[in-house]
């Protein structure tokens, strides 16, 4: 490819609407352009990288005996009603009514569609196991599209679905996909980490997220440097510390006025106590039933853990009206003393003494409240998000909390979809049984964005060789010099012939502009053709991840490019 014939519109300035480094660089390097909120155009160089990521995914799916198909983005919502997910997913699903008055959905995912297909086509245990996948555009009505292609309303997903006769066979399919995911992200050059995760809306029991740690990540993970434990904070268990025993100085609850102070910060500032001396009483509605959840003031409630404990399908915080109805007091002033509701409390609350709680009356709190003495709890559970001060759930050592971008997710679904959609098979005894399912997603756009987010410098992107739009750029240092120009053409042809994905910067621009653009777009190799090299029968080669260019004998050029030039990655 000649640069003059392609379309890589690079920019000197960062786009104004971009916060994340990857977003800024993808725009500046001429890979993407914004069309509207959450919708991006892939320009030719960006699309080339995207296609490279796609083909790595395809190759590894193929090696795992997964077969590709293509399902429509347009989906009948009836299928979602049959699995009960129509209500669960809510506004996230983009829907419209067609000219016949029928509701149509734009698929945010395809479990229903693929299970319906399998229910109609698979009859016998002889048809199983089967793993189907597609690479298809998905749609989500995001509340807040962010960070360019990291969180967009339209995005490219690889979604795979495994179908097995029993749990044991499903374990094998799951492991095969898990291993394929590791190979895919390794080959792409990502610094990723598989972590234990919460299945959430997908359902099922076990799941793993493939995370790329970066400060712009919207997910939080916990990592133990000692034993290698890694999990999403949604599932990381918090060990309950030993009971502190009852206070030796029993006091009676005392009512205090706290006008207008309804948050932990306001109340602790007003009463001059630490947030950890407060008990937060959160009123939730779980499948229509109100439940009070008690959490220490400085801790964060973990909805995933609470939901699992309650076995609830839906869980949300109660609105103001509901809080008043069930506690008799205003929102922000709820407390466990005298409350006639189901109470679930986090283990850390058990060790509190002389705590401050809401008094179930507007502008009033209670001091000197002791669990056990002033209110009783039957359900002590792990209901909070792990903090950096908590020990590792596995080995007890210190842990680290990190932010991360999720690039892949694998789920063991069981029969969550196959039962309601009647995807059955005849086993070898002629008995009808539901198929056991797994599902596996990869955000293809996120592979690019997370690589750039974790691999760039002040000058631009540092691509892995596997995903770079071109592996090498040939830059004639002085285009108007005919000899240099001819030599550049020769080197370009030689590299192309040898199978290197190469671009010749034949633009009518200064060498300075070309060097800057080469660094910005981030080609792994820059081959610079200049006077000095030509006099000595050599070319100047700069690898993007190295600091300085070096002169290489012409005949050794291809040999130089054989080495590994993956960007230096943090060992995780």
Measured distance CA(71)–CA(133) in Å, rounded: 9
Please say which residue, 29 or 224, places its beta carbon nearer to Zn ion. Answer: 224
Please say which residue, 393 or 460, places its beta carbon nearer to Zn ion. Answer: 393
CB of 196 to Zn ion, least distance (A): 13
Among 153, 344, 392, 529, binds Zn ion (CB under 5 A): 392
CB of 391 to Zn ion, least distance (A): 8
Please say which residue, 227 or 244, places its beta carbon nearer to Zn ion. Answer: 227
CB of 295 to Zn ion, least distance (A): 24
CB of 398 to Zn ion, least distance (A): 9
Q: Please identify which residue in the block is written with the tokens 């916060």.
A: 19
Please say which residue, 372 or 398, places its beta carbon nearer to Zn ion. Answer: 398
Among 67, 227, 498, 513, binds Zn ion (CB under 5 A): 227
CA distances from 343 to 289, 310, 337, 375, 498 (A): 12, 11, 11, 10, 70
- Per-residue DSSP letters for 465-522? TTT-S-SEEEEES-TT-HHHHHHHHHHHHHHHHTT--EEE---SS-HHHHHHHHHHHT
Q: Are 48 and 26 contacting, i.e. CB atoms less than 8 angstroms apart?
A: no
Stretches 240-248, 317-325, 395-403, 483-491: which one binds Zn ion (CB under 5 A)? 395-403
Please say which residue, 67 or 227, places its beta carbon nearer to Zn ion. Answer: 227
- Regarding 394 and contact with Zn ion (CB under 5 A), the answer is yes
Please say which residue, 387 or 485, places its beta carbon nearer to Zn ion. Answer: 387
Stretches 91-99, 394-402, 466-474, 475-483: which one binds Zn ion (CB under 5 A)? 394-402
Please say which residue, 226 or 319, places its beta carbon nearer to Zn ion. Answer: 226
Q: Please identify which residue in the block is written with the tokens 């296609």.
A: 51
Please say which residue, 80 or 229, places its beta carbon nearer to Zn ion. Answer: 229
CB of 439 to Zn ion, least distance (A): 29
Measured distance CA(248)–CA(246) in Å, rounded: 6
* Cβ-proximal residues to 58 (8 Å cutoff; 6+ apart), any chain: 68, 135
DSSP annotation of 92 reads: G
CB of 387 to Zn ion, least distance (A): 15
CB of 70 to Zn ion, least distance (A): 43
Measured distance CA(300)–CA(522) in Å, rounded: 41
- Regarding 269 and contact with Zn ion (CB under 5 A), the answer is no
In our burial notation (b when 16+ CB lie closer than 10 A, e otherwise), range 187-207 reads bbbbbbbbbbbbbbebbbebb
What 3-state DSSP class applies to 241?
coil
Among 66, 180, 216, 224, binds Zn ion (CB under 5 A): 224
Measured distance CA(534)–CA(552) in Å, rounded: 11
- Residues binding Zn ion: number (CB under 5 A): 8
What 3-state DSSP class applies to 89?
helix
Q: Are 432 and 491 contacting, i.e. CB atoms less than 8 angstroms apart?
A: no
Rg (alpha carbons) of the chain, rounded to whole number = 29
Please say which residue, 205 or 397, places its beta carbon nearer to Zn ion. Answer: 397
Q: Are 48 and 470 contacting, i.e. CB atoms less than 8 angstroms apart?
A: yes
Please say which residue, 392 or 475, places its beta carbon nearer to Zn ion. Answer: 392
- Regarding 229 and contact with Zn ion (CB under 5 A), the answer is yes
Stretches 104-112, 134-142, 350-358, 384-392: which one binds Zn ion (CB under 5 A)? 384-392
What 3-state DSSP class applies to 144?
coil
Please say which residue, 228 or 537, places its beta carbon nearer to Zn ion. Answer: 228
In our burial notation (b when 16+ CB lie closer than 10 A, e otherwise), range 11-30 reads eeeeeeebebbbbbbbbbbb
Stretches 71-79, 116-124, 226-234, 525-533: which one binds Zn ion (CB under 5 A)? 226-234
The site map against Zn ion for 137-156 (x = CB under 5 A) is: --------------------
Measured distance CA(132)–CA(112) in Å, rounded: 13
Among 41, 74, 395, 493, binds Zn ion (CB under 5 A): 395
CB of 223 to Zn ion, least distance (A): 9
Residues 485-524 that bind Zn ion (CB under 5 A): none
In our burial notation (b when 16+ CB lie closer than 10 A, e otherwise), range 100-139 reads eeeeebbbbbbbbbbbbbbbeebeebeebbbbbbbbbebb
Stretches 36-44, 135-143, 220-228, 334-342: which one binds Zn ion (CB under 5 A)? 220-228
- Regarding 226 and contact with Zn ion (CB under 5 A), the answer is yes
- Regarding 239 and contact with Zn ion (CB under 5 A), the answer is no
In the complex, which residues of this chain contact Zn ion (CB under 5 A)? 224, 226-227, 229, 392, 394-395, 397
């Amino acid at each position: 490819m000649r640069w003059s014939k392609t379309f890589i519109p690079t920019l000197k300035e960062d786009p104004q609407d971009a916060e994340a480094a990857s977003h800024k660089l993808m725009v500046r390097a001429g890979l993407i352009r914004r069309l509207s909120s959450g919708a991006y155009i892939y320009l030719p160089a960006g699309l080339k990288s995207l296609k490279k990521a796609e083909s790595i995914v395809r190759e590894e799916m193929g090696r795992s005996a997964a077969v590709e198909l293509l399902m429509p983005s347009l989906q009948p919502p009836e299928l979602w009603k049959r699995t009960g997910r129509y209500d669960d997913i809510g506004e996230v699903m983009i829907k419209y009514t067609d000219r016949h008055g029928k509701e149509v959905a734009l698929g945010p995912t395809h479990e229903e569609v693929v299970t319906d297909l399998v229910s109609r086509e698979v009859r016998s245990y002889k048809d199983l196991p089967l793993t189907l996948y597609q690479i298809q555009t998905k749609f989500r009505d995001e509340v807040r599209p962010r960070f360019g292609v990291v969180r967009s309303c339209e995005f490219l997903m690889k979604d795979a679905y495994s179908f097995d006769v029993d749990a044991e066979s499903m374990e094998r399919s799951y492991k095969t996909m898990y291993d394929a995911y590791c190979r895919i992200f390794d080959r792409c050059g990502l610094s990723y980490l598989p972590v234990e995760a919460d299945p959430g809306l997908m359902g099922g029991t076990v799941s793993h997220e493939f995370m790329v740690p970066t400060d712009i990540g919207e997910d939080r993970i916990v990592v133990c440097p000692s034993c290698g434990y890694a999990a999403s904070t949604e599932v990381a268990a918090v060990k309950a510390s030993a009971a502190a025993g009852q206070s030796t100085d029993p006091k009676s609850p005392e009512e205090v006025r706290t006008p207008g102070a309804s948050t932990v910060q306001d109340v602790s500032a007003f009463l001059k106590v630490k947030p950890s001396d407060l008990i937060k009483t959160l009123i939730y509605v779980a499948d229509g039933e109100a439940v009070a959840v008690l959490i220490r003031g400085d801790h964060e409630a973990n909805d995933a853990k609470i939901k699992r404990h309650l076995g609830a399908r839906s869980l949300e915080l109660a609105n103001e009206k509901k809080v008043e109805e069930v506690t008799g007091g205003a929102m922000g002033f709820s407390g466990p003393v005298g409350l006639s509701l189901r109470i679930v409390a986090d283990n850390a609350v058990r060790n509190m003494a002389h705590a401050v709680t809401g008094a179930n009356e507007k502008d009033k709190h209670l001091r000197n409240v002791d669990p056990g003495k002033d209110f009783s709890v039957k359900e002590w559970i792990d209901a909070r998000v792990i903090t950096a001060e908590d020990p590792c759930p596995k080995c007890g050592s210190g842990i680290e909390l990190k932010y991360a971008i999720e690039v892949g997710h694998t789920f063991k679904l069981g029969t969550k979809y196959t039962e309601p959609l009647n995807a059955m098979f005849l086993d070898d005894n002629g008995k009808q049984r539901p198929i056991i399912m797994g599902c596996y997603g990869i955000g293809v756009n996120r592979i690019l964005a997370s690589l750039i987010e974790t691999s760039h410098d002040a000058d631009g992107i540092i691509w892995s060789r596997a995903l770079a739009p071109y592996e090498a750029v040939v830059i004639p240092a002085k285009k108007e010099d005919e000899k240099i120009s001819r030599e550049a053409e020769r080197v370009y042809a030689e590299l192309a012939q040898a199978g290197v994905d190469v671009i010749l910067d034949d633009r009518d621009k200064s060498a300075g502009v070309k060097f800057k653009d080469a660094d910005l777009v981030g080609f792994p190799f820059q081959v610079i053709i200049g006077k000095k090299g030509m006099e000595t029968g050599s070319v100047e080669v700069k690898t993007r991840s190295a600091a300085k260019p070096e002169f290489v004998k012409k005949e050794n050029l291809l040999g130089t490019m054989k080495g590994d030039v993956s960007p230096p990655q943090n060992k995780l």
